[in-house]
C-alpha cells in the first residue's frame, strides 16, 4: 500500500487571497502532492490548508510553504481572533494510509529540524512527535502567543526543539507535530456575546472551567492540596473549545477542535452545545467545518439524526450525508459542498468509477456499442446491485410501516446491510471492466525476445487470475443478498413481495452471469491448480444460489396465486 500522509498547516493570513495563493502555489509545485482544501477566515485572519501525498513529497511541500509564509507574512502587523504565534502557526502531519503514527512522527521531526536549521525559525514539536510529554500540548506551547514569546523563549524550559532560542520578529515561531485526524468545527449561536459563548464552551470542553467559591464568575478560585486550580470538567472528551465573536457574520461561535472524533463525533458535540445554549437562553443556528471531515463522521451523524426521527438508517450514502448536512446546519454561513469538504471524496479517483457514474441511457448505450467492455461481467455486477437495492427498498418500506414499530430495528439493520452489498456490487461494475482491460494491456506487451515473451506471459497469467477473482467476488456478494431478500419475502411488507421476488431473479442472473466469466477466464490459465480451485468455489456458490433462490421464487409465486 502506498504511504500517504496529510498535512494541515495553519497560516496567519486570512484576507489577502493573492498572498495565500503564493503559498499554495509552492505546495502544488511539488509533483505528487494533491492540494485538497484552502479555507481562509477573515475574523481569525488565518487560513487552514490541507494537502496529501507520499511522506517525502509532503514534507518538501510543507517546507516550501513555511518558507514562503515566512517571507510574505509579517507577524508584527498581525491581528486576529485565533491564538497564534507565527506566520505558519502550526503544521501537523496526519497518517492516512500505509503508515504508522510512529513513522509519521519521524517525518514531522525531520521537517522541524530542516525548518529550524535552514529558515532560522524556532520550532516546537507537539503531540506524537514530541518525546517530552510535559510540552506536547499545542495550547500550552502557544500560551502567551506571538506577543509573549519574546520573553517565554528565553526560559530554559521553553528552549525550542529546533532553531534559534531567539524569537523571530517577522515570522514568529511555529509548532510542527504528528497527530490523529482532527476536526475543526465551529457552532453558531444567535448572540454576539463572547461571554455567553465562552460559558457554553466551558460547559462542553474536556478541560471545563475552574471551580470558584460562591459566584461561578467572580468567586475565589478553589485550589487543591498542591495549590493547583480545581477544575469542573466539561461534558465532552477529546474536545477543545473557546467562544469568540465573528465580525464577518455578526455572531458568536463555539470554536472546537475535536481531537478524536471517534470519542466525540460532530453530532454529539452539536447536541451538547444545543443543550448548554438552551439552558442559557441561546439557540444554535447552524455550524461550519474548517477544513475537511472524514466520510464516516458524516455518515454516523446522518444515522444519528435519522434514528432521532425514528426513520430507517438503511438509506444511501448520499442521503446520509444530506441529512447530516441539514441537521448540523453546515450550509448556514456558506455553501457546503460534500465533494469538496469530505476527505474521501476529494481523494476519490472518479476515472475508476466511469461506468457507474453514467446515467441509465448512457450506460445502456455504452454497453450496446462495438466496444467489448462493459460486457457480461459488468452487467452481472450491476444486475446484482439492483437485486440488493430491491431488497433494501422492501426493508425500508417495512421499517416505516405504521404498526410495525416493534420490528423497526430489524428492518433498519437489514436495510443498512443491503446498502453495503449494493455499493460493493456497484464498485465491481467498473472493476470487472478494469480487469478485462488489464488482460488486453498484457496481450499488447512486446514479445520481440525471450525476456519480453516471459514477461508478457507472466502479465497475462496475473491479469487473467484477477479477471477470475472479480466475478467470483460478484457471485459471493450477490449470493449474500439472499440473506436480505429471504426475510423480506417471508415477513417484510407484503405489498412489496413481488419487488423482493424480482430482486431474487436479479441475484440469480448476477451469480450465473458472473459464473460464466469465471469459467471462460479460468479456461485460459496455465496454473491449472488455481483454475480448478476457483471453478470449484464458483460452482459451489452457483449451486447454493440456485437452490435457495428457486425456493424463494416459489414462495413469491405461491403468495401471488
Cell numbers for 26, please give them: 509552492
315, 320, 323, 326: CA torsion to nearest 10: -160
Helix (H, G, I), strand (E, B) or coil at 497: helix
Helix (H, G, I), strand (E, B) or coil at 97: strand
Range list of H helices, 263-375? 266-279, 295-308, 317-328, 338-341, 343-347, 360-368
Cell numbers for 352, please give them: 475508476
First vs last Cα of the chain: how many Å apart?
Answer: 55
Query: Is 432 a residue of the active site?
Result: yes
Residues 6 or more apart in contact with residue 279 via CB below 8 angstroms = none
Catalytic option among 39, 82, 203, 267: 82
* Best CA proximity match to 474, nearest among 392, 358, 377, 545: 377
- Separation of alpha carbons 242 and 72, rounded Å: 29
Query: Which residue is listed with cell 525476456?
Result: 451
Cell numbers for 246, please give them: 465573528
Q: How many CB atoms lie within 10 A of CB 67?
A: 20
Length of the chain: 561
Omega before 374 cis (within 30°)?
Answer: yes
Check residue 403 and give left, alpha or beta (phi > 0: left; psi -120 to 50: alpha): left
Catalytic option among 39, 203, 432, 499: 432
- Separation of alpha carbons 287 and 264, rounded Å: 16
Half-sphere exposure of 212 (CA within 13 A, CB side): 10
- Separation of alpha carbons 130 and 165, rounded Å: 17
- Separation of alpha carbons 442 and 440, rounded Å: 5
- Separation of alpha carbons 67 and 90, rounded Å: 13
- Separation of alpha carbons 237 and 264, rounded Å: 6
Cell numbers for 206, please give them: 474536556
In DSSP terms, 187 is beta-bridged to 254, 287
Cell numbers for 510, please give them: 448476477
> SS3 letters for 406-455?
HHHHHHHHHHHHHHHHHHHHHHHHHHHHHHHHHHHHHHCCCCCCHHHHHH
Helix (H, G, I), strand (E, B) or coil at 96: strand
Angle at 90 (CA atoms; ends 8, 99), nearest 5 degrees:
45
Chain centre distance of CA 343: 5
Residues classed as catalytic: 82, 432
Amino acid at each position: 500500500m502506498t504511504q500517504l500522509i496529510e498535512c494541515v498547516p495553519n497560516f496567519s493570513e486570512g484576507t489577502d487571497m493573492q498572498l495565500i495563493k503564493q503559498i499554495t502555489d509552492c505546495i502544488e509545485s511539488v509533483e505528487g502532492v494533491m492540494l485538497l482544501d484552502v479555507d481562509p477566515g477573515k475574523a481569525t485572519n488565518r487560513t487552514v490548508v490541507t494537502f496529501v501525498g507520499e511522506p517525502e513529497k509532503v514534507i518538501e511541500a510543507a517546507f516550501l510553504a513555511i518558507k514562503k509564509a515566512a517571507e510574505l507574512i509579517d507577524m508584527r502587523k498581525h491581528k486576529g481572533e485565533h491564538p497564534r504565534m507565527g506566520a505558519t502557526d502550526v503544521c501537523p502531519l496526519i497518517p492516512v494510509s500505509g503508515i504508522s503514527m510512529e513513522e509519521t512522527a519521524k517525518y514531522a521531526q525531520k521537517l522541524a529540524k530542516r525548518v529550524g536549521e535552514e529558515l532560522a525559525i524556532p520550532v516546537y514539536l507537539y503531540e506524537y512527535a514530541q518525546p517530552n510529554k510535559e510540552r506536547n500540548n499545542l495550547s500550552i506551547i502557544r500560551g502567551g502567543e506571538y506577543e509573549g514569546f519574546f520573553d517565554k523563549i528565553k526560559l530554559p524550559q521553553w528552549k525550542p526543539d529546533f532553531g534559534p532560542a531567539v524569537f523571530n520578529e517577522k515570522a514568529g515561531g511555529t509548532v510542527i507535530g504528528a497527530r490523529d485526524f482532527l476536526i475543526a468545527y465551529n457552532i453558531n449561536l444567535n448572540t454576539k456575546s463572547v461571554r455567553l459563548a465562552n460559558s457554553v464552551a466551558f460547559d462542553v470542553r474536556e478541560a471545563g472551567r475552574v471551580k470558584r467559591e460562591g459566584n461561578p464568575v467572580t468567586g475565589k478560585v478553589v485550589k487543591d492540596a498542591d495549590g493547583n486550580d480545581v477544575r469542573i470538567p466539561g461534558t465532552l472528551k477529546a474536545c477543545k473549545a473557546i467562544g469568540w465573536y465573528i465580525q464577518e457574520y455578526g455572531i458568536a461561535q463555539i470554536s472546537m477542535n475535536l481531537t478524536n472524533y471517534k470519542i466525540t463525533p460532530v453530532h454529539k458535540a452539536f447536541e451538547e452545545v444545543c443543550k448548554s445554549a438552551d439552558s442559557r437562553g441561546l439557540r444554535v443556528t447552524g455550524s461550519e467545518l474548517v477544513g475537511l471531515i472524514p466520510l464516516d463522521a458524516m455518515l454516523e451523524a446522518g444515522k444519528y439524526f435519522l434514528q432521532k426521527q425514528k426513520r430507517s438508517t438503511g438509506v444511501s450514502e448520499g442521503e446520509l450525508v444530506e441529512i447530516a448536512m441539514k441537521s448540523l446546519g453546515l450550509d448556514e454561513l456558506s455553501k457546503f459542498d460534500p465533494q469538496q469538504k469530505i476527505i474521501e471524496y476529494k481523494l476519490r479517483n472518479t476515472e475508476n468509477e466511469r461506468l457507474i457514474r453514467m446515467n441509465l441511457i448512457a450506460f445502456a448505450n455504452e454497453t450496446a456499442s462495438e466496444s467489448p467492455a462493459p460486457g457480461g461481467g459488468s452487467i452481472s455486477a450491476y444486475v446484482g446491485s439492483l437485486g440488493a437495492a430491491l431488497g433494501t427498498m422492501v426493508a425500508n418500506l417495512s421499517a416505516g410501516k405504521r404498526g410495525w414499530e416493534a420490528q423497526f430495528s430489524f428492518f433498519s439493520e437489514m436495510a443498512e446491510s443491503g446498502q453495503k452489498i449494493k455499493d460493493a456490487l456497484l464498485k465491481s461494475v467498473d472493476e470487472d471492466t478494469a480487469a478485462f482491460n488489464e488482460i488486453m494491456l498484457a496481450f499488447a506487451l512486446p514479445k520481440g525476445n525471450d525476456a519480453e515473451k516471459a514477461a508478457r506471459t507472466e502479465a497475462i497469467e496475473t491479469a487473467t487470475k484477477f479477471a477470475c477473482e472479480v466475478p467470483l467476488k460478484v457471485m459471493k456478494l450477490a449470493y449474500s443478498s439472499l440473506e436480505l431478500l429471504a426475510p423480506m419475502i417471508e415477513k417484510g411488507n407484503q405489498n412489496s413481495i413481488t419487488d423482493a421476488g424480482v430482486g431474487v431473479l436479479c441475484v440469480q442472473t448476477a451469480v450465473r452471469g458472473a459464473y460464466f466469466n469465471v469459467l471462460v477466464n479460468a479456461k485460459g490459465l496455465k496454473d491449472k491448480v488455481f483454475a480448478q480451485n476457483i471453478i470449484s468455489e464458483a460452482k459451489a456458490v452457483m449451486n447454493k444460489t440456485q437452490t435457495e433462490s428457486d425456493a424463494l421464487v416459489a414462495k413469491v409465486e405461491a403468495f401471488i396465486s
